[in-house]
Structure 1
Amino acid sequence: MRYKLAGLDCAGCAARLEQELRRVKGLEKATINFAARNVDMPPEMLPAAREVIARVEPDVRLIETAGDASGEEKDEEKEEAGRSLYLIVAATLLLGMGFIFNERLHRTPYSWAEYAVLLAAYFLVGWPVIRAALRNLIRRRFFDENFLMTIATAGAIAIHQLPEAVGVMLFYAVGEYFQERAVNRSRRSIAALVDIRPEYANLKLNGESKRVRPEEVEAGQIIVIKPGERVPLDGEVVDGFSFVDTSALTGEAVPRKVEKGEPVLAGMINGQGLLTVRVTRPFGESSVARILELVENAAARKAPTEQFITAFSRYYTPAVVLGALALAVIPPLVFPGATFSTWVYRALVLLVISCPCALVVSIPLGYFGGIGAASRQGILVKGANFLDALTGLHTVVFDKTGTLTKGVFRVTQVVPYNGFQEDELLAVAAAAEVYSSHPIAQSIRAAYGQEIDPERIGEYREIPGHGISAMVDGKRVLAGNDRLMHREGIANEVCNVAGTVIHVAVDGTFAGYIVISDEVKPDAGEAVARLKEFGVKNIVMLTGDEEAVARRVARDLGIDAYYAGLLPEDKVAKVEELEAGLPDRRRQKLAFMGDGINDAPVITRADVGVAMGGLGSDAAIEAADVVLMEDAPSRLATAIEIARYTGLIVRQNVVLALSIKAFFLILGAFGVATIWEAVFADVGVALAAIFNASRTLSYRPSTLK
């Protein structure tokens, strides 16, 4: 169950809290999503979690129902922001007074007036930092930003640099204020990107319409969707005609026509018509609920860069503190004429600039923004680690039927042999396929066009990867591929025909074959071309279809290699073989794209499993790492472009933060930079990194521009 963490404003605090929660038995898998400020845990562990939170972060509150708390949380954010602003203004006025009248205040006995004015300003903005540092000190946690700021400012006061001590705390408070506002704005922007949750449903009861929460509607009940309203639940149209906007789910701007008998999904927006819909599944199992859950859970799967920064900050801060201590003590003892006051001041500059907030806040925010931007395009990425993996694709493997081709089959040729007639051949094939749900079987029955009495069929058996065996009117009928004929020892000279071919045998005699045609998707060629533009080195197609069909599709689309006649287990083995053959297994990745239903084993096995056309498909959403909600293979290129842009932003933030901090650390060590400049640099880097990370939210891929 998901819970909200109200008052969690520090990424470092989130990391510490997650670490402490995982030490509790039953909470080993607890993951805090700082960007969304929530945590998933079993409900029975709530008391234990609250005990840990009270001990580690007393200012953080665990709210049981995240959805009901959003309004309350916004009010708290406004109230807290207003209080912080008042304190900053008051401290700024006192600091200004301390500067203007510094000489007069300093001349008072023991400089008591100077201390009174400037320390008042210091404690107005610095008390939360000092309190947190003291609390952490009691718990033997010495190395965090609160400790750094407290030691730095206390040292400045000790060497009678009061204005600088106040300035450090004031600018730190200003930075925290703007940083919190930037993070909250980014959170709201991310929430808006995926805010497709319907607010209500018009439930039809006893001839009247009643507005209720979508969670209250059960499967089988009737709802009414008025023009302009969002579809609240998955269902089937029982009356009405309209066009629905699916862009919130698929990223596709072209409205879709719906009429009686057709499905509609939660999250779509109704156009001008009035629709009466029978609900097919409750809200918790609807498309919109699963999409929201996927996006919210995505931040739990951290990218390697995030994991590195978390580990890096754990060692970075103690190293800087020890370095500052050495800088304050060693030079005065070693170099003649060096004074402790000079080198202590330089050490304080080192402490101020060393805070790692810019990294620990902006990097998760960048990945979360990338995931949100992808979801707006109808691309569900289940974690930042998969977003990272998309940037390193070396090989992309496609399933053919339903992925590169439409999977809509129709009979184009019936060729009888050995005295059979066309209508007779089609009739026995249709009867043999009567129980099959495969699209090819459906096309044969559609071509036959007559009712088939199931009583005529007996001993029906599907032979995986081969076809069908059944008794039709007392005769043994085999319908399947060429492998089936060879397996059963049936003489067949027709082995190489363009198109998908179903061979039919009756009582051991070859009766002829039926040619089934499948059409390539309009954007399949574009998908292959775009992947090559993005540097994908090897594009492969796997299919259970015949060699001739596979060769034709691969040639038309410009695919590098294809493997035909594969059973489901053969596809898994081929993907494993291709993965093993990657030149750099650690950095280069393989993605497999399938329709998400029949290809679940292969999707699960690939480095990045991509399910296409997963709208409403449970198998797709469960098995895949990336789900393309629109039935278009070219969207994989869009996903790669978003992933690469997100990776670029993250790398920019890492280089920006580390290079500027390193520069000012050197300046501070040599006495060139003052504490003022260190504070400006620290606050400025954090804000720049956060605003840079927020660019991922509004990114629009070139494939859609």
Structure 2
Amino acid sequence: MNKKQKKVLIRVIVASVLLILCAVLPTTGYVRFATFMVPYLVIGYDILKKAWKGILNKQVFDENFLMAVATVGAILLGEYPEGVAVMLFYQIGELFQSYAVGKSRRNISELMDIRPDYANIEVDGKLEQVDPDEVEVGTIIVVQPGEKIPIDGVIEEGNTTLNTSALTGESVPRDAREGDEVISGCINMSGLIKVKTTKEFGESTVSKILDLVENSSSKKSRSENFISKFAKYYTPAVCYGALALAILPPLVRMLFLSAAPEWSIWIYRALTFLVISCPCALVISIPLSFFAGIGGASHEGVLVKGSNYLETLSQTKYVVFDKTGTMTQGVFEVAGIHHNTISQEDVLEYAALAECASSHPISKSLQRAYGKLIDRSRVTDIEEISGNGVTAKVDGKNVAAGNAKLMERLGVDYIDCHSVGTIVHVAVDGKYAGHILICDMIKPHAKEAIQALRKSGIKKTIMLTGDSKRIADQVAADLGIDEVYSELLPGDKVSKVEELLDAKTEKEKLAFVGDGINDAPVLSRADIGIAMGALGSDAAIEAADIVLMDDDPLKISKAIHISRKCIHIVYENIYFAIGIKVLFLLLGAIGIANMWMAIFADVGVMILAVLNAIRALFVKNL
């Protein structure tokens, strides 16, 4: 609890004790009135003050005004215990609501802890702490073990392990070494590193994420907008309704029935009507449900830009994926080695050495798979044959590494490979040595992600790619994706998404999932744009509606689960709160519900609705 909440708790306890004492003491008349006024003012002075300010500012109709009128009216009618009790229980409900909001804010606050306080710059052999805003691009900053990386950059010196849990929601640390890019907000866990900054602090990942979260509450869902409009008209309506209830029945009784008007009975019913009608349960619990949902999602490494996007995501029935970088790793890797006359290790070694002078992604993948320091002194006479491959002398032997065209050009009988991917054939001294399969590897959880989406009620999964039909069909079949469209240009992807949008119904929403780097047009065009693998991607954070802060496709189904749970809770609270209010308003109008029942209809319903709302914070493992 914060200081303000503790003060309210103390007031609640003191007022409760005083109320019990006042009820027990055998007082009458003005003495009884004076004794009950003590706990009433202890617990309600701030509500009375807010109500008076509202009247002065011509903003009369709010919950403070309703509580003030109802409790003052009860006291004037001589119902002292009920007047004090209404104010007491209202404050208990407010305290409970304040605590619940604080609890839901803690997940957001944990995310806010990624904001760095300083950056270390080395000056004359000593470290000086400076404000991250003052650090220019290209500056070398020093990050010691246990410190946050303050600004995006590239490691110039040192190796370490990074804790990225504040950004991704994942507890598994990541290794980082010289030449690797690092982003702000990660915690340096082990070694001292020197980082050359590549962005200003205001443009760094941490700043963009913080700005995204801080502004998420400004983008309200239709449910929240409905409640805001509802409260705007509802509160004045019930105030006038209460006034009519207090005046009209006694007048009718007096004028038409020639009976005593019974003013006190109908004024009491009107005051009870006011207490019941207080819209706290709706006004508090609905925004709290969305806030809790966004907080629970951020804890899982899912950043939602506003409750409107959370609402749209819950209605998603079609999920469209980009392939490269989304369902696949976007990095060529050696997937298999088939040897003929020499061992697998020798096939890979000869290929890596022959390709050592090339910067082509295929060559880089061979060198990574080889995993040893390449001794270029072993390689001579390198010749690159465009569209075919390379030839070179390795340890004095003639080595050729390339596609089938190169083998045919050299007159080498090769063994064809039917696997999907890039095939690098290797020949040594004119004899076929084997071939290496290189492909863009499917992400570890991609297949599970598709299965999880199907279980969650997604009607159809679709994949769009610029790759060849053969590769696209193979990947789609391996993952279990329903439809695949291949050999598409970026503009073709937008057109295809528009076709899919036209084919579905209005209530069914379409989500596009991309890596956020070259998918901005499609992310913007879909009903909901989800950027994944977006750690440090400016394009993703700006173009997408939802950002998954790591590259795990399983987070997509988790995000949908969070959104649906949140919306389910919102509608539960709307139906429950309105249903109870209507029932008790009718009971109050006909005199069955008294002030104590009104307390339950107001504070009790609010507490139950708030308890239900904070369930959105908790996300079960799927």
Bucket of the pairwise TM-score, normalised by the shorter protein? 0.7 to 0.9
Which residue number in structure 1 is paired with residue 105 of structure 2?
187
Deviation at 1:280, TM superposition (A): 2.4
SS in 2 for 1:638: helix
1:81-160 alignment to 2 at 5 Å?
81=5, 83-85=7-9, 87-102=11-26, 104-106=27-29, 112-160=30-78
Deviation at 1:81, TM superposition (A): 4.1
Deviation at 1:92, TM superposition (A): 4.0
Distance (whole Å) between structure 1 residues aligned to residue 6 and residue 325 of structure 2: 56
* 2:498 corresponds to 1:579: no
Distance (whole Å) between structure 2 residues aligned to residue 329 and residue 309 of structure 1: 30
* 2:597 corresponds to 1:673: no
Change in 2 beyond 3 A, CA 1:349/1:639: same
Retained in 1: the 8 A contact 2:205–2:538?
no
Which residue number in structure 2 is paired with residue 630 of structure 1?
550
SS in 1 for 2:331: coil
1:123-522 alignment to 2 at 5 Å?
123-334=41-252, 339-409=262-332, 442-443=361-362, 499=420, 517-522=439-444
Change in 2 beyond 3 A, CA 1:444/1:599: farther
Distance (whole Å) between structure 1 residues aligned to residue 604 and residue 335 of structure 2: 68
Retained in 1: the 8 A contact 2:107–2:299?
no
Deviation at 1:91, TM superposition (A): 4.1
Change in 2 beyond 3 A, CA 1:252/1:167: closer
Give the TM-score normalised by structure 2: 0.80
Which residue number in structure 1 is paired with residue 579 of structure 2?
659
1:145-180 Cα distance to aligned partner (Å, 9 max, x none): 122122212322332223322222233233333333
Counterpart code for 2:286: I
Which structure would you say has the larger RCO, counting Cα contacts within 8 Å and 6 or more residues apart? 2
Which residue number in structure 2 is paired with residue 421 of structure 1?
none
Give the TM-score normalised by structure 1: 0.71
Deviation at 1:532, TM superposition (A): 0.7
Change in 2 beyond 3 A, CA 1:557/1:82: closer
Counterpart code for 2:325: G
Deviation at 1:88, TM superposition (A): 4.2
Retained in 2: the 8 A contact 1:500–1:545?
no
Deviation at 1:386, TM superposition (A): 0.9
Distance (whole Å) between structure 1 residues aligned to residue 329 and residue 11 of structure 2: 63
Distance (whole Å) between structure 1 residues aligned to residue 287 and residue 191 of structure 2: 43
Distance (whole Å) between structure 2 residues aligned to residue 182 and residue 370 of structure 1: 13
Distance (whole Å) between structure 1 residues aligned to residue 364 and residue 181 of structure 2: 24
1:256-276 Cα distance to aligned partner (Å, 9 max, x none): 111111122222222232222
SS in 1 for 2:194: strand
Change in 2 beyond 3 A, CA 1:378/1:187: closer
Change in 2 beyond 3 A, CA 1:88/1:610: closer
Distance (whole Å) between structure 2 residues aligned to residue 239 and residue 140 of structure 1: 64
Deviation at 1:691, TM superposition (A): 3.1
Distance (whole Å) between structure 1 residues aligned to residue 487 and residue 165 of structure 2: 37
* 2:620 corresponds to 1:701: yes
Distance (whole Å) between structure 1 residues aligned to residue 482 and residue 209 of structure 2: 34
Which residue number in structure 2 is paired with residue 461 of structure 1?
none
Which residue number in structure 2 is paired with residue 527 of structure 1?
449
% of aligned pairs identical?
A: 49
Deviation at 1:572, TM superposition (A): 0.7
Structure 1, unpaired ranges of 5+? 1-73, 107-111, 414-425, 435-440, 457-466, 468-496, 503-513
Deviation at 1:500, TM superposition (A): 6.2
Retained in 1: the 8 A contact 2:319–2:512?
yes
Which residue number in structure 1 is paired with residue 347 of structure 2?
none
* 2:602 corresponds to 1:692: no
Structure 2, unpaired ranges of 5+? 337-350, 368-373, 388-417, 424-435
Q: 2:489 aligns with which of 567, 590, 598?
A: 567
SS in 2 for 1:236: strand
Matched length: 543
Distance (whole Å) between structure 1 residues aligned to residue 361 and residue 109 of structure 2: 43
Change in 2 beyond 3 A, CA 1:535/1:185: closer
Change in 2 beyond 3 A, CA 1:85/1:555: closer
SS in 2 for 1:688: helix
Change in 2 beyond 3 A, CA 1:187/1:408: closer
Which residue number in structure 2 is paired with residue 606 of structure 1?
526
Distance (whole Å) between structure 2 residues aligned to residue 201 and residue 142 of structure 1: 50
Change in 2 beyond 3 A, CA 1:182/1:602: closer
Counterpart code for 1:401: T
RMSD across aligned C-alpha pairs, in angstroms?
3.2
Counterpart code for 1:187: R
Counterpart code for 1:340: W
Change in 2 beyond 3 A, CA 1:401/1:176: closer
